[in-house]
Homo-oligomer: A and B are copies of this chain.
Amino acid sequence: MFDLHPRLSADTILLGRFPLSLCLLMNDMHYPWLILVPQRDNLREIFELPTEDQQQLLRESSWVSERLSRHFNATKINIGALGNMVPQLHLHHIARYENDAAWPGPVWGKHPAQPYTLDNLKMMHDRLREAFADATQIGFVWAE
């Protein structure tokens, strides 16, 4: 039985599910920021996943990275598996820009999150719908 860590649940909006991972939008308007959480219990490290799950996580991660890079016209995608504060394995994907709030440093611990307004969340959701237009091809299902 997989349960999303309460801290991840509180900080994000559930977009949907890939075959392995939940796909979450970080509730921080500073950056387009998606988090993948493999739906496996009691995992902290990528190397603890069975090899097939590791490869699936990579497929999902690269797919998300490519979409963020292209559709959000990012200068750089930052990928991170930290987990010092939230032990449940989760993989950050952040579209970075030379004029963003933390550039060129990492985003973590830099600025308090700036939660989406309803209007901005609607716009972000529309952009993600466009970026993920063919996501069913890799088994993505939008959350209800």
- Scan residues 58-90 of chain A and give those whose CB is less than 8 A from a CB of chain B: 58, 61-63, 65-66, 69, 75-85, 87
Structural contact, A45 and B61, CB atoms closer than 8 A:
no
Nearest-Cβ distance from residue A93 to partner chain B, whole angstroms: 10
Nearest-Cβ distance from residue A57 to partner chain B, whole angstroms: 8
Question: Which B residue sits closest to A78, measured CB to CB?
Answer: B82
A78 cross-chain contacts in B, Cβ below 8 A: 80-84
Question: Which B residue sits closest to A97, measured CB to CB?
Answer: B84
What is the interface of chain A mostly: helix, strand, loop, or mixed?
mixed
Nearest-Cβ distance from residue A113 to partner chain B, whole angstroms: 15
Among A47, A85, A104, chain B packs the most CB atoms within 10 A around the CB of A47
Structural contact, B84 and A76, CB atoms closer than 8 A:
yes
Known: A80-B82, A81-B78, A96-B84. A45 touches B65 (CB 8 A): yes
Structural contact, B80 and A45, CB atoms closer than 8 A:
no
Confirm or deny: A6 has a beta carbon within 8 angstroms of a beta carbon on chain B: no
Binding site for B on A (CB under 8 A): 44-47, 54-55, 58, 61-63, 65-66, 69, 75-85, 87, 96, 103-106, 108-109
Sample of 15 further A-B pairs with CB below 8 A, known A45-B69, A76-B87: A46-B79, A47-B62, A47-B66, A47-B69, A47-B77, A54-B62, A58-B58, A76-B82, A77-B81, A78-B80, A78-B81, A78-B83, A78-B84, A84-B106, A106-B108
